Copies of this chain bind each other. A is one copy, B any other.
Amino acid sequence: MALRQAVDWSLYVVTDAGLSRGRSHVAVIEAAITGGATVVQYREKHAPTRQMVAEAQVLRELTRRTGVPLIVNDRLDVALAVDADGVHLGQDDMPAALARRLIGPDKILGISASTLAEALQAVQDGADYLGVGPIFATPTKPDAAPPIGIDGLRLIRQHVSLPIVAIGGINATNAAEVMAAGPDGIAVVSAVVAAEDIAVAAQELRAMVNASRQRREAASN
C-alpha cells in the first residue's frame, strides 16, 4: 500500500531482449536506473518459464537495491515467483479483476488501455495505474492496437484520475508533446533499451518529463 502510493511514474522502462543489442537485461536496466528510470517492467513473451523467473530474479535484486519498483508483464506466476511489486496486464492477458484477487490488495496492478471504455473498465476492475497507448505506431509491438494519438491520451486523462503512463513510440522528439496531454509519466522501450548510451538516453527523457511536470505544477498554482 505504502509502495503503491509512493510510485514515481515519470520514466517507466520496459525490457526487450530483442532490442537490447546483445546487452543483458541487468546491464540495460542498471544503466537506465542510473539515468533516471523510476519504474522497471520485465516483459518477455517467448522464453521458457524457468528463464523468465531467473531473469526477473536478477532484476528483482537490482531494483530492490536501487529502490525502483519492478513490474512483470503478463505473467502473474513470474511476478509471484520473484515477489515483484506488481503486474502489468494487456487486454489479452488475465482479466484484471481475477488478477487482483490472485495478487491481493498490496501489489500494483497496471492495465493497458487503448480506449476510454477499456480505461473505465480497468478502473472498475481495481487497476492502480493505466498504460495508455499506443500513442504512436511502434515497430516493437506489431500486434498492438492502432495508435490513439495525443488526442486519445488526452481524452482518457480527462476521465481517469488514476496514474497514467503513456506508451507507444515515445522518444525524445515527442516526449514533451505527450507529457503536455497530462500523463504522470512515459513508458519507453526502444528509446532507452536500444540506445547506444542507455543512461544518457534515460537522463534526457527524465529531464523532459521533469520539466513538463514542473510547468504543469506552475500552471496549476
Contact = CB atoms under 8 A, between A and B. Distances in A.
Determine the main DSSP class of A at the interface with B.
helix
A102 to B, nearest CB: 5
A50 B80 contact: no
A94 B55 CA distance: 12
A77 interface: yes
A92 interface: yes
Given A53-B98, A76-B80, A80-B102, 5 more contacts: A49-B92, A49-B93, A75-B77, A76-B77, A77-B80
Interface of A: 48-51, 53, 74-77, 80-81, 91-95, 98, 102
8 tightest Cβ-Cβ pairs between the two chains A and B: A48-B92, A76-B77, A77-B77, A49-B93, A50-B92, A49-B94, A80-B102, A81-B98
